[in-house]
Amino acid sequence: MTMNSPMSLVNRAHQFNTMLGSCEVTHKNGSAYELEAAIAEACKQLAVVRDSGRGLYLVGNGGSAGVASHAMTDFFNVAKLRATTLHDLSLLTCMANDYGYENAFARILAQMVRPGDVVIAISSSGNSMNIRNAALQTQLNHGSVITFSGFKRENPLRAMGEINFWLDSCDYGLVEIGHQFILHNISDRFGAGLLP
């Protein structure tokens, strides 16, 4: 493989840098959020969650579930948040079997989310119905939602959070690593004491 190949590491690193540099963040109403202001607001919300003893829940499918697990560890260990993922195998398969996979996370969150809790909903495409239903259930329980998506600019998940991070790529690998990078940056700010 040559350095000019589309899959060369140098080329992929350039694509990743370009994607991160063009990250768009929006409010729920679709208005633009400056990236650093959005990260600061996410940190502020999570600091309130920590200081008030509220919960942080992270949901994702497949690779995004892996991103959620890694981020949960950082939020728990570094940011000292009461953070958890919702993909325990027995519970998730029970909910999927009884209520359909599209409702599995929502059914769990219906019992768990309390007012003031935050759910981070991660979907590379922004189309995953179970993640969208989780975001909707969180709002019904008076919690807050922060979304991470990619692919199409107008994907449905991008309109469901109070803060919506979107990466302009249809490449699963780049989007997933981009989501992980932003989430890691947020938790690292807690560890460095760089909160708003």
CATH number at residue 83: 3.40.50.10490
Does residue 9 sit within a domain?
no
In this predicted structure, what is the pLDDT of residue 3?
62
pLDDT above 90: residue 39: yes
**Which residues have C-beta within 8 Å of that of residue 30, sequence separation ≥ 6?**
159
Q: Which helix (H) or strand (E) holds 165?
A: strand 163-166
Q: Which domain holds residue 104?
A: 24-191
How many other β-carbons are positioned within 10 Å of the β-carbon of residue 17? 10
The pLDDT of 64-86, averaged and rounded, is 97
Q: How confident is the model at residue 193 (pLDDT cuts 50, 70, 90)?
A: confident
Q: Is residue 70 part of a domain?
A: yes
- Given this model, what pLDDT does residue 1 score? 55
8 falls within a domain: no
pLDDT of residue 7: 83
Residue 7 belongs to some domain of the structure: no
Query: Smallest Cα–Cα separation from 177: which of 1, 19, 10, 9?
Result: 19
Question: Is residue 77, in this structure, part of any structural domain at all?
Answer: yes
pLDDT at 159 over 60: yes
| Total number of domains in the chain | 1
Checking if the pLDDT of 46 tops 90, the result is yes
In this prediction, residue 2 carries a pLDDT of 64
Residue 43 lies inside a defined structural domain of this protein: yes
In angstroms, the Cα distances linking 45 to 17, 162, 177 are 27, 10, 23
Question: Would residue 183 count as lying in a domain?
Answer: yes
- Whether residue 46 is contained in a domain is answered as yes
